[in-house]
């Protein structure tokens, strides 16, 4: 039974807003916003009282109001340190950008720019012409376009080239990528009809040839992304698919997913199909991501032959899926690294991939020595770093891990304290130890990792 006195003890909105604890909020936010929040917390208090719970006092109501204000005003993105050893970590923002890309994006966002203006002619220009020139040079393609991610690139390509028609896909390539997005669903949205060919583990060129009908528009090759088929398997080569498609007057589209412009095997990894190889093999359209192995901002890049690309660029979805000026600036700066032959030295993803094991051992030893001297039980162990982001599934690089085994608190609690530190550090847990992988800790971040760990170990700011 609700206590009538509890209702009467609730303050009026003005009295609540006058609470000393809300002084900073009153100085920093509009009165109308605070009034609305005050009404919300008072309504919640009445609901609690009706449920038989005791009514909160003014201090508790003020705290509840500040909590709601914090939910509204909290920064959506918090910079953090990735110590997990997953280089392209989807949950942590994928590829960190090069200094040049960051500077280019800042410059583009802080002033007007020649986004769609031809300075030489003094008239309207295209926002992607300069990117197209670089991409043609890097990939050997005849034309290029850029949209906001690779899923958008596939959707736009299929919508422009195969709406209302059939698209042949190997049964083993009807994949699901992160977040539950499936190739069949993307195809359905485009208006194309998926036709499975072959079996999950073996698809031959004859399977494609036998499935072609007068309604077939194109053959689609899809990168395996985040899994591998091993054992009794067979996949048709891109060159064979291109030959068949062109002999039958069809198109070949290659969805590379991550997409790379550098040979991954040079760094101890399995071969990842290069964009240049797809173009050379005869694919009419190739799509890939800008923020994975390319190491740039989020984007979906489409390259290929001039005819299909013109149809793609003129499709109505192109405007809906196009990228903004900051993305274009960052992508151009990233692509220029490749054009200048400096990608490994300048792009963080490739810096991490190419870092020698000896250098990682030296950094791990220095971190471990500092922690040990501060009374933290830290040891060094060999380990493996993952590429991540649906790139090179199952492939790892040797690394040197700093392992910390807490005694006075659980490893889960220590990991939580690291996540909630002034500079959050995301680590991984294995065998009841917290592991830090220096491969994904960016240069210059070692001291910040140590400081956050020391504070977490001592419980500073957590208890």
Domain at 315, CATH number: 3.40.640.10
Same domain, 248 and 373: no
User: How high is the pLDDT of residue 462?
Assistant: 47
Q: Look at residue 30 and tell me if it is in a domain.
A: yes
Establish if 319 belongs to a structural domain. Answer: yes
Phi, psi (rounded to 5 degrees) for 40 = -65, -45
Same domain (yes/no): 238, 365 = no
181 to 292, 371, 455: CA distances (angstroms): 17, 43, 40
434 and 370 in a common domain: yes
277 and 382 belong to one structural domain: no
Structural domain contains residue 125: yes
160 and 303: one domain? yes
Do 183 and 286 fall within a single domain?
yes
- Together in a domain, 255 and 372: no
Q: Is residue 241 part of a domain?
A: yes
Q: What is the pLDDT of residues 238-263, one digit of tens each?
A: 999 999 999 999 999 999 988 899 99
Helix axis angle for 306-314 and 150-162, nearest 10°, is 100
- Tens of pLDDT along the chain (463 residues) come to 667 788 889 999 999 999 999 999 999 999 999 999 999 999 999 999 998 888 899 999 999 999 999 989 887 788 999 999 999 998 999 999 999 999 999 999 998 988 888 888 888 888 888 899 999 999 999 999 999 999 899 999 999 999 999 999 998 766 655 555 566 777 677 788 888 887 767 788 988 899 999 999 999 998 766 555 554 556 788 999 999 999 999 999 999 988 899 999 999 998 888 999 999 999 999 999 999 999 999 999 999 999 999 999 999 999 999 999 999 999 999 999 999 999 999 999 999 999 999 999 999 999 999 999 999 989 999 999 999 877 777 789 999 999 999 888 899 999 999 999 889 999 999 989 999 999 999 989 999 999 999 999 887 544 4
- Last residue within a domain, chosen from 39, 73, 107: 73
pLDDT tens per residue, range 98-110: 999 999 999 999 9
**Residue 267 corresponds to which tokens in the numbers above?**
């760094």
Q: Are strands 433-436 and 396-404 parallel, antiparallel or unpaired?
A: antiparallel
Q: Is residue 18 part of a domain?
A: yes
Six token digits for residue 198: 């072959």
Please tell me the total count of domains within the chain. 3
Cβ atoms of 7 and 55 closer than 8 Å: yes
Residue 312 lies in a domain: yes
My answer on whether 118 and 17 are in the same domain is no
Note whether residue 463 is domain-resident: no
Assign residue 363 the CATH number of its domain.
3.90.1150.110
pTM score, whole prediction: 0.87
Domain with 390 in it: 81-88+351-458
Token pair listed for 201: 């583990």
Looking at the structure, do residues 196 and 282 belong to the same domain, yes or no? yes
The CA-to-CA distance between both ends of the chain, in Å, stands at 37
Integer Cα distance of 167 and 245 in angstroms: 11
Q: Which residues contact 236 (CB under 8 A, 6 or more apart)?
A: 170, 203, 204, 205, 207, 208
Residue 224 sits in the same domain as residue 293: yes
Is 415 in the same domain as 319?
Answer: no
Shared domain check, 106 and 197: yes
242 assigned to some structural domain: yes
Last residue of a domain, one of 322, 346, 370: 346
Where does a domain end: 328, 346, 364? 346
């Amino acid at each position: 039974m609700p206590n009538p006195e509890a209702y009467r003890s609730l303050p009026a909105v003005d009295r609540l807003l006058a609470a000393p604890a809300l002084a900073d909020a009153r100085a920093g936010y509009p009165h109308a916003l605070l009034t609305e929040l005050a009404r919300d917390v008072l309504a919640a208090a009445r609901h609690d009282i009706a449920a038989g719970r005791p009514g909160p006092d003014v201090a508790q109501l003020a705290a509840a109001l500040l909590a709601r204000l914090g939910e509204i005003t909290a920064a959506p993105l918090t910079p953090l340190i990735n110590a997990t050893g997953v280089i392209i970590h989807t949950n942590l923002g994928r590829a960190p950008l090069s200094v040049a890309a960051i500077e280019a994006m800042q410059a583009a966002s802080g002033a007007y720019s020649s986004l769609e203006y031809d300075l030489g002619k003094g008239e309207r220009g295209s926002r992607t012409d300069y990117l197209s020139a670089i991409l043609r040079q890097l990939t050997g393609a005849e034309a290029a376009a850029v949209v906001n991610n690779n899923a958008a690139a596939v959707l736009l390509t299929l919508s422009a080239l195969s709406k209302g028609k059939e698209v042949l896909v190997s049964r083993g390539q009807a994949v699901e990528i992160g977040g539950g997005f499936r190739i069949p669903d993307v195809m359905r949205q485009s208006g194309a009809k998926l036709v499975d060919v072959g079996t999950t583990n073996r698809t031959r060129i004859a399977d494609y040839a036998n499935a072609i009908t007068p309604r077939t528009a194109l053959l689609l090759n899809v990168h395996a992304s985040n899994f591998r088929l091993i054992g009794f398997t067979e996949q048709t080569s891109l060159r064979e698919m291109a030959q068949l498609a062109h002999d039958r007057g069809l198109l070949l589209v290659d969805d590379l997913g991550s997409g790379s412009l550098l040979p991954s095997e040079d760094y101890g990894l399995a071969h990842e199909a290069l964009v240049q190889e797809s173009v050379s093999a005869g694919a009419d359209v190739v799509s890939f991501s800008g923020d994975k192995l390319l190491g740039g901002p989020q984007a979906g890049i489409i390259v290929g032959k001039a005819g299909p690309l013109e149809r793609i660029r003129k499709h109505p979805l192109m405007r809906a899926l196009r990228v903004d000026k900051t993305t274009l600036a960052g992508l151009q700066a990233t692509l220029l690294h490749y054009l200048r032959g400096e990608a490994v030295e300048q792009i963080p993803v490739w810096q991490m991939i190419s870092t020698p094991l000896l250098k990682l051992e030296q950094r791990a030893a220095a971190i471990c020595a500092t922690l040990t001297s501060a009374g933290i039980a830290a040891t060094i162990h060999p380990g493996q770093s993952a590429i991540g982001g649906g790139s090179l599934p199952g492939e790892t690089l040797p690394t040197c891990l700093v392992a910390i085994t807490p005694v006075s608190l659980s490893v889960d609690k220590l990991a939580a304290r690291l996540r909630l530190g002034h500079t959050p550090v995301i680590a991984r847990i294995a065998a009841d130890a917290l592991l830090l992988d220096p491969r994904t800790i960016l240069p210059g971040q070692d001291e910040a990792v140590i400081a956050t760990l020391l504070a977490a170990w001592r419980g500073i700011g957590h208890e």
